[in-house]
Structure 1
Amino acid sequence: MSTKVLQFCLILLLVNVACKDSAPSIEEKIQKVYTAVSVTQDGLTVYTQGGPSNLVPQYSTFKLDLSVPGKAVLKDITAETFTGNYTVTDQVLTLTQLNPEPTGTGGTMSYSITSISEDGKSLVLTTTKGQPKTGHTINVYTLKSN
């Protein structure tokens, strides 16, 4: 009798483990198209979506497309569009082989993933070094996807 109970418990354990949904990885969560909700440069808020007096209203056209795994399309505040690749390692999003090459980047841009929602629809990125186009400021992008 105890052997049958043990077998039953083992089967229940295996079924329980096999049926659990694993949480999506960051790579899976970020496969979306993002737009800016707010942007700060060296701690100063320069853009808030729908804000009446944004210091840098050009962020209204900012778009980061990560919807295709490993491929990135970035539309920056100058309305230039850059295409390349992306990887996520240790909470860092790195865009590489950007074409055309964004000014002063060597074709590579990196962002710390400050936070990401469970569904990936909200993403906060912080530049890992000063951005040439914004006067070498450290920028924090609060992004959303639809």
Structure 2
Amino acid sequence: MLLLAAPTLYGFSMISEFGFGPTIAMLLVCGGLVNGPYSLITTAVSADLGTHKSLKGNARALSTVTAIIDGTGSIGAALGPLLAGLLSAGGWDQVFYMLMTADFLALLCLLRLVTKELTSSKSPPISAVELKEH
């Protein structure tokens, strides 16, 4: 989704000249592509950390980690409009370039996790017989 978000944002900046209808349609697509990963990240990372052995089933530690992850996203949500306001003085193209850059940075940050998940899903599952042998 993040890989498609940046080109869609570029398309949004171009199609907005064609009227209200196409602008709304592209805005819905852009919003889905950007907000979808955010929602998945906050829930998936929280669930992943919740099963981590260092937490040892501590619900309080899990809620703290979840709050930190969600709070970090809120910081980004607060800084985005601030940067947009500052960059809009140079033209709205600068704002869209900032949003595209943020999407690519998010994609780079998640790339390691994605490759880890893909490589772990390719390994064959351990059977019950193999578990008994260990």
TM-score by length of 1: 0.26
Q: Which has the higher strand share?
A: 1
Higher relative contact order (CA 8 A, sep 6+): 2
Instruction: Output the TM-score relative to the length of structure 2.
Output: 0.27
